[in-house]
Amino acid sequence: METIASLADEFLSQPAIAVVGISSSKQTVANGVYKKLKAQKRTVFAVGKNTSSFGDDRCYPDLASLPAPVHGVFIAVKKENTGQIIDECIKLGIPRVWMHNFSGTSFSSGSSATPDIVQKCRDHNISVIPGACPMMFVDNADVGHKCIRWFLNVTGKLK
């Protein structure tokens, strides 16, 4: 059985990742993940419907607008918007998605994932991480995310 840790390692090893949920008007999880991945010299693309730039970088309105193919998509949006993004991943042949959820892998109110969306990914052979946060698995993770990872691991929520 694959664990979130093994799926996270595979996801984060991809050569190009899109981060969906970027906002120029407020702090979002997507903003933090984007900044961390970019600081690690990864190829990362910002995707946000309502902004054309993020810092000095271009922000794309959707996955189809990206200038190069991506191998994974991190999603940090309201769950009612996730289905549209997954449909776009299917259409574009993107093989991996990670849907943010602070509380682990359950489908809480703070999650971008729903059981039907996760099943849709699996039905289309998309490797899916339906929870947690990449910030818990990146190189040089901050102490807070290391603690969250440890807690979720010992409580069995990272399986």
Q: What percent of the chain has pLDDT over 70?
A: 92
Sign of the C-alpha dihedral computed for residues 126, 149, 12 and 40 taken in this order = positive
What CATH number is given to the structural domain containing 47? 3.40.50.720
**Region 9-19 average pLDDT:** 95
Sign of the C-alpha dihedral computed for residues 155, 40, 91 and 50 taken in this order = positive
Write out the residue range of the structural domain in which residue 98 sits: 4-154
Is residue 159 in some structural domain?
Answer: no
Task: Label residue 159 by pLDDT band (50, 70, 90).
Answer: low
Residue of 69 and 6 predicted with greater confidence: 69
- Bridge-based pairing of strands 127-129 and 53-54 is unpaired
Cα–Cα distance for residue pair 137/25, rounded to 1 Å: 27
Residue bearing tokens 């991480």: 129
Instruction: Provide the phi-psi class of 93: left if phi over 0, else alpha when psi is between -120 and 50, else beta.
Output: left
C-alpha angle with apex 43: 58 to 157, nearest 5 degrees? 105
Is residue 26 in some structural domain?
Answer: yes
For residue 100, the model assigns a pLDDT of 87
Number of domains in the chain: 1
Task: Label residue 1 by pLDDT band (50, 70, 90).
Answer: low
Least confident residue range of 57-61, 97-101, 135-139: 135-139
Is residue 18 in some structural domain?
Answer: yes
Is residue 40 in some structural domain?
Answer: yes
Is residue 83 in some structural domain?
Answer: yes
- 65-77 pLDDT, tens digit per residue, is 999 999 999 999 9
Is residue 87 in some structural domain?
Answer: yes
